[in-house]
Amino acid sequence: MYNKIMDTLILFDLEETVIESFEQPFFIMPNIRKIKNFLSHDEFRDARFGVMSWAIWNWSRTESEVFDGISIALQEELDIHSNRFDGMFTLSMDQWVSILWKTCGVKVDRDELPHIFNKEDFLFKIRKFFAEHKIARVVLIDDAVEHNLTITSPSVTIEFRNIEDM
Ligand SMILES: [Mg+2]
């Protein structure tokens, strides 16, 4: 089904999925083990990584520094030896909001975003963005999504994994 494994994107939520919080950026080790197990399947061997965390507003210096530390340590924990985070999909809230505007002409303030869309709705709205970048399959790992929900459209399949249920 997914014969082009290059075209898979794993999006990570951060707080309460990978780390406790941005203020206390410690790994949640049981979750890291679940993620490692999940990504060990061959279909994810060449998947690209991105970030969809509402804790990253605009890549302030602090946000960038904390994220750099997380991404390096996470890939070490996952035994990944080259950087798989793709700048095209490793985005702040400001950037996700801008993609929403460019993709479907919907203008939302960054602060309002979490109140207007849950991540399931949001990713569906911007599905053309992924298709434009040759992504055929998106998997979001998050602590607040409907586990195993799959949204299918002609060009992209968007899947959700709730870390609590993995
Ligand atoms: Mg979270």
Residue 140: is its pLDDT beyond 60? Answer: yes
Task: Please state the rounded mean pLDDT for residues 31-60.
Answer: 96
CA of 25 to the centre of ligand 1 (A): 12
> How much of the chain, in percent, has pLDDT values that exceed 70?
96
Instruction: Quote the ligand 1 centre to 15 CA distance (angstroms).
Output: 4
Asked if the model's pLDDT at residue 64 lies above 60, the reply is yes
pLDDT of residue 71: 97
Measured in Å, residue 75 CA sits from the centre of ligand 1 at 19
Q: Tell me 27's DSSP state.
A: B
Instruction: Find the mean pLDDT for residues 143-153.
Output: 97
The answer to whether 158 and 138 are in contact (CB under 8 A) is yes
Average pLDDT, the chain: 95
Kindly give the distance from the C-alpha atom of residue 146 to the centroid of ligand 1, in angstroms, as a whole number: 13
**Cα 166 to ligand 1 centre (Å):** 15
The 3-state DSSP class for residue 55 equals coil
Tens-place pLDDT, residues 112-124:
999 999 999 999 9
Read off the pLDDT of each residue in 93-111 and give the average, rounded to a whole number: 97
Which protein residues have their CB within 5 A of the ion that is ligand 1? 13, 15-16, 143
**Sheet with strand 137-142: strands edge to edge:** 85-91, 48-52, 8-12, 137-142, 157-162, 150-152
By three-state DSSP, how is residue 17 classified?
coil
Please check the confidence at residue 51 and state whether its pLDDT lies above 60: yes
Report the pLDDT value the prediction gives residue 101, as an integer from 0 to 100.
Answer: 98
The three-class DSSP label of residue 23 is: coil
Ligand 1 centroid to Cα of residue 3, in Å, is 31
| Residues 1-28: tens digit of each pLDDT | 544 544 999 999 999 999 999 999 999 9
pTM, two decimals, is 0.95
* Residue 143 CB contacts under 8 Å (≥ 6 apart), including other chains: 13, 15, 16, 17, 162, 163, 164
Ligand 1 centroid–CA 53 distance in Å is 7
pLDDT in tens, 76-96: 999 998 999 999 999 999 999
pLDDT of residue 5: 45
